[in-house]
């Protein structure tokens, strides 16, 4: 009986095949319910007691050899077909990788920052949750000043002195407190105002404000800086400055660019005039410089600010500001080719 088991072990070791059906027949022959091993285990009770231990070892050896042979041959076939590799099936078509893209607000912000960085402006940032001093009082807007009503503010319920900043001018205040002239910085960021949400306005939007302080800074410097920006950003070389009022600049102005009247859209967005307002600006009020311990008799400067959404709407002809915040994939995918 032992000789028969040894012959079967030799048969298992010698068996080779690359045919799935032959391997399955081999498995059934040795490991099936009516296979050779089942018969051998049934014969075990008839073996002499002094031979049972050795007989049992050889049967187990045969069983393990048969199982390992079947497993090995199946793996060889699967690997040859590419069904199973270290990294999975390398022959499968790859899943398409969706490329991400920047949000239009980020695209425009980065473009604005890049333009001003070419003429020496650095980037400064500050907290979105601000105190009254940096957002209002230090900017020449003392308590009960009527100009505060121009910016409907979100105040924090637990601390009335804290609020969500209404402009990034608060960043400029903090920058002037920690730096001495010459100062040349732009402050991009998100701001908040309690306004009704419509196609043209939102309670959350983004600004970029610029500040330049040094000796002998004039209004002519401001105009040339803004003219350079409009040429680089819009390709427009004609601007005008209209007198306006901002508490923290004196004199103050609104900046218009000549957009033109070449298309029906041009007529619509400029209301038939060809001119389009893009930002506010002015010379920094001496009181603001005093509040941050900068000598207004020695230094002067200018500031300007623009809404990023407004610029993006002009560049990409977006009709509704709410589209920036709805995260509609169909809208965002239009900017995949823009970097």
Poorest-confidence range of 116-120, 240-244, 268-272, 286-290? Answer: 268-272
Average pLDDT over every residue of 80-103 = 68
Summarised one tens digit per residue, pLDDT across range 6-22 is 788 888 888 888 888 88
Task: Provide the CATH number for the domain around residue 125.
Answer: 3.30.930.10
- For residue 38, give every residue at least 6 positions away whose Cβ sits within 8 Å of its Cβ, in sequence order, or none: 32
Looking at residue 83, its pLDDT comes to: 47
Contact assessment for residue 169 and residue 305, using Cβ atoms and an 8 Å cutoff = yes
Highest-confidence segment of 39-53, 141-155, 217-231: 217-231
Q: Does 86 map to a domain?
A: no
How many independent structural domains does the chain possess? 2
Tell whether 240 and 271 lie within a shared domain. Answer: yes
Tell whether 130 and 272 lie within a shared domain. Answer: yes
Looking at residue 335, its pLDDT comes to: 82
Q: Does 88 map to a domain?
A: no
Looking at residue 329, its pLDDT comes to: 83
- Type and span of the H or E element at 164: strand 162-164
Tell whether 113 and 77 lie within a shared domain. Answer: no
Q: What are φ and ψ of residue 45, in 5° steps?
A: -70, -20
Q: Does 90 map to a domain?
A: no
Residue 84: how many other CB atoms lie within 10 Å? 13
CA end-to-end distance (rounded Å), the chain: 80
Tell whether 70 and 176 lie within a shared domain. Answer: no
Tell whether 141 and 176 lie within a shared domain. Answer: yes
Tell whether 29 and 113 lie within a shared domain. Answer: no
Confidence of residue 151 (pLDDT cuts 50, 70, 90): low
Q: Does 6 map to a domain?
A: yes
* Domain residue limits at 115: 104-335
Poorest-confidence range of 76-85, 168-177, 195-204? Answer: 76-85
More confident residue, 146 or 281: 281
Looking at residue 338, its pLDDT comes to: 64
Beta pairing, strands 183-192 & 204-214: antiparallel
Q: Does 10 map to a domain?
A: yes
Residues in the chain: 339
Tell whether 27 and 176 lie within a shared domain. Answer: no
Q: Does 95 map to a domain?
A: no
Looking at residue 223, its pLDDT comes to: 96
Average pLDDT over every residue of 31-54 = 77
Q: Does 89 map to a domain?
A: no
Share of the chain above pLDDT 70, in %: 92
Summarised one tens digit per residue, pLDDT across range 218-227 is 999 999 999 9
């Amino acid at each position: 009986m032992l000789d028969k088991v040894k012959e079967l072990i030799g048969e298992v070791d010698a068996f080779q095949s690359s045919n799935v059906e032959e391997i399955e027949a081999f498995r059934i022959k040795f490991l099936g319910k009516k296979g050779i091993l089942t018969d051998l285990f049934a014969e075990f009770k008839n073996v002499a007691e002094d031979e049972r231990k050795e007989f049992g070892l050889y049967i187990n050896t045969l069983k393990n050899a048969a199982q390992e042979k079947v497993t090995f041959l199946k793996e060889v076939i699967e690997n040859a077909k590419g069904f199973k590799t270290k990294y999975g099936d390398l022959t499968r078509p790859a899943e398409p990788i969706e490329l991400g893209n920047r949000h239009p607000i980020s695209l425009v912000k980065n473009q604005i920052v890049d333009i001003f960085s070419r003429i020496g402006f650095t980037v400064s940032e500050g907290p979105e949750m601000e105190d009254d001093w940096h957002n209002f009082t230090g900017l020449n807007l003392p308590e009960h000043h009527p100009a505060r009503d121009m910016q409907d503010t979100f105040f924090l319920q637990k601390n009335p002195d804290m609020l969500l900043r209404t402009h990034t001018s608060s960043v400029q205040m903090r920058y002037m407190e920690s730096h001495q002239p010459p100062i040349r910085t732009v402050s991009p960021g998100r701001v908040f105002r309690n306004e009704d949400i419509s196609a043209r306005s939102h309670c959350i939007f983004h600004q970029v404000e610029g500040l330049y302080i040094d000796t002998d800074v004039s209004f002519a410097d401001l105009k040339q800086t803004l003219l350079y920006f409009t040429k680089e950003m819009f390709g427009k070389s004609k601007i005008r400055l209209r007198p306006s009022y901002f508490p923290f600049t004196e004199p103050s102005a609104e900046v218009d660019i000549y957009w033109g009247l070449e298309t029906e859209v041009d007529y619509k967005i400029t209301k038939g005039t060809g001119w389009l307002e893009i930002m506010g600006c002015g010379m920094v009020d001496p009181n603001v410089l005093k509040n941050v311990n900068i000598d207004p008799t020695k230094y002067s400067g200018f500031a300007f600010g623009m809404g990023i959404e407004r610029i993006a709407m002009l560049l990409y002809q977006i009709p509704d500001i709410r589209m920036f915040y709805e995260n509609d994939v169909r809208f965002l995918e239009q900017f995949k080719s823009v970097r």
